[in-house]
Chain A
Amino acid sequence: MSAARASRNDAPLIRVRGLANRFGAHSVHEDLDIDLYPGEILGVVGGSGTGKSVLLRSIVGLLRPSAGHIEVFGEDLLGLSARDRSRVERRFGVLFQRGALFTSLSLQENVALPLIEHIGLSRADAEALARVKLALAGLPGDAAIKYPAELSGGMIKRAALARALALDPEVLFLDEPTAGLDPIGAAAFDRLILTLRDALGLSVFLVTHDLDTLYTACDRVAVLSQGQVLVADRLDVVAATDDDWIHDYFHGPRGRAAHGAAHPVEEP
């Protein structure tokens, strides 16, 4: 089902062409192309320092790239006025690596904030909706009035996901969603992403190190290396690509374990 969703015939929601990001003499991306198709979960992997998070930050508009085009929903993001940009960015939901919840607000206030600011809902309505989003993200009802400092890492990730989903975005950006979670929590989070994708029709841009996430949740995988996308395709195609890093990554001990867990019957 998921493969059919990511049909290549659809126009991509996000089209990045010739992206370059340079910090002084140090070049992170050079002539990078990547696409995100409607309804797919795209996993972006790469070694430390290959610019996965920088790529995410350039697409969501937190970082102005040195060169290149970023086309989102058919519009050139870099050419838009600030107002149009804000309108486009409202269709994004972003989950930051460490949650980035507002520490002075309770969870339901965190999620209600964009609803009050952008939609103009009353506080009571916004908080009622926020509690539903928190429940959708798998948090118990009494967590809504808690503050981020009182929560475990897994709960913070879930609450941050609820905030990312507040405005019913079309594209969800996840930066290392399972980093810092225990394996059970991480597996539950993977399932949650799949469920929400199917229920809300999201497209997901997922930066990760987690091989299990790649195997269970991702439709396509893009590998970043030397400032470019080395290969972006279905997992089995990517895993078979002839490259040292890819080979070490997918066929190292962890890669084999994750593959074994995802395909128990196919193992010889």
Chain B
Amino acid sequence: MTEPGHIDQQDGRLAIAGDWTLVHYATLKNQVERLAQAREPSPEGVDLERLAALDTAGAVLLMELVGAGPLAAIDDWAPDLPATRRALLRTLGEAMADNRPPPARPARPLRDTLARTGQIVEGLWQQQRQLLGFIGQVLATLAATAWRPSRWRLTSMVAQLHQTGLNALPIVALLTFLVGAVVAFLGATVLRDFGATIYTVNLVAFAFLREFGVLLAAILLAGRTASAFTAQLGAMKANEELDAVRTLGLDPIELLVLPRVLAMMLTLPILTFVGMLSGILGGALVCLLALDISLVQFLAILQRDIPLNHFLVGLAKAPLFAFLVAVIGCLEGFKVSGSAQSVGEHTTSSVVQSIFVVILLDAVAALFFMEMGW
């Protein structure tokens, strides 16, 4: 019943026949392009009597054959066509008559690469400036609200404490426990050759009190919470909620950022403490099962060999890490623009940046504490 669209050429006339629809687009397009090389687009000698079905795709091909202007004037040269057909062709011709395709951008590979490199470097520089500026803003707002308890957002802070702290507790405990066990195994294997397996206790305690407890907790929060902050604030930004906050005469930093930053600064030391405990517990378990060091012996060694200052050194880093992770998460949220892609980009960026900052600062701090002999 239906016949694929085609063009019959007879005595220099072009008879349009069959279904000119989307399904036959590719074959029709070939035919039309071959014809277009031989003749200028014009309705001259084009017969539409045998045209069966027609949709916009077919109409576009017809337009390439006859030109947009003549298509708009279809009533003059093909008045026998059904009214609906003519309406479609006329509408299309009118729409395309003064429509120019967007100018194609010439490709310049070398220039584009240079430009992109420049953009990335400039972007990195701007990012650091923005981060410093934002840290300043947060501190200024903190200083302004610290003396006015009526402006403390306690409810919001408690909600954030719940989400960033309590809900993260199990995963932090589990991961540090596992890493503690792994460190103990490593220590046992290496120290066995020296007949010093008993020092596995010191290794685990030393590592977790000074470095691993805080580092693992901070990295987990960077992945878990910084991304959540970015996505929350980013969605609010995209929905113009941040603008609404401003026009209501409220300060988004005071309302949204401070509770998050403060909650995080309270949360991370607690999580760090939990991380230290469960890391050491993991180590103790390995010592008990694989090295026959009893729990009592383990604790006795801890008490004898590990001074308090290791614990303090580890814990002291937590608020600083928490502050930076939270600030980076919030700032990236503020930088989101309307699109879904932008939310994704900034969430990624916030996690990468905060993990980077945490590890970098931890390395610097390790050097510093070592030089100070703490």
A-side residues, CB < 8 A to B, are: 102-104, 115, 119, 121-122, 125, 128-129, 131-133, 135-136, 138, 140-142, 144-145, 147-149, 165, 167-168, 195-196, 198-201
Residue B312 interfacial (CB < 8 Å): no
User: Which residues of A are found within 8 Å of B232, using beta-carbon distances?
Assistant: none
CA distance A256 to B103 in the complex (A): 48
User: Which residues of B are found within 8 Å of A135, using beta-carbon distances?
Assistant: 95-96, 99
- How many inter-chain residue pairs (CB < 8 Å) link A and B? 80
Residue B23 interfacial (CB < 8 Å): yes
Given known A-B contacts A133-B56, A199-B87, A149 and B338 have beta carbons under 8 A apart: yes
Given known A-B contacts A121-B25, A199-B87, A141 and B57 have beta carbons under 8 A apart: no
CA distance A149 to B26 in the complex (A): 33
CA distance A148 to B342 in the complex (A): 13
Residue B92 interfacial (CB < 8 Å): yes
Contact partner of A132 (CB less than 8 A), chosen from B96, B102, B339, B341, is B96
Given known A-B contacts A103-B338, A104-B339, A136-B56, A199 and B88 have beta carbons under 8 A apart: yes
Contact partner of B57 (CB less than 8 A), chosen from A129, A148, A149, is A129
Query: Which B-chain residue is minimally distant from A103 (CB atoms)?
Result: B339
CA distance A260 to B371 in the complex (A): 87
Residue B340 interfacial (CB < 8 Å): yes
Residue B251 interfacial (CB < 8 Å): no
User: Which residues of A are found within 8 Å of B56, using beta-carbon distances?
Assistant: 129, 132-133, 136, 165, 168, 200
Q: Contacts A149-B338, A168-B55 given; 4 further ones with Cβ under 8 A?
A: A121-B25, A131-B99, A142-B100, A199-B84
- In the A-B complex, the 10 residue pairs with the smallest Cβ-Cβ separation, listed nearest first, are A103-B339, A104-B341, A199-B91, A199-B88, A168-B55, A135-B95, A141-B99, A135-B99, A199-B87, A141-B100
22 residue pairs A–B, Cβ–Cβ below 8 Å: A103-B341, A104-B341, A119-B22, A119-B23, A121-B25, A125-B26, A125-B29, A129-B25, A129-B60, A131-B101, A132-B56, A132-B92, A135-B96, A140-B99, A142-B103, A149-B339, A195-B91, A196-B91, A198-B87, A198-B91, A200-B55, A200-B56
B87 touches A125 (CB 8 A): no
Residue B337 interfacial (CB < 8 Å): yes
Residue in B57, B87, B103, B337 whose Cβ sees the most chain A Cβ within 10 Å: B57
User: Which residues of B are found within 8 Å of A102, using beta-carbon distances?
Assistant: 340
CA distance A144 to B102 in the complex (A): 7
User: Which residues of A are found within 8 Å of B100, using beta-carbon distances?
Assistant: 141-142
User: Which residues of B are found within 8 Å of A122, using beta-carbon distances?
Assistant: 26
A125 touches B25 (CB 8 A): yes
CA distance A196 to B63 in the complex (A): 17
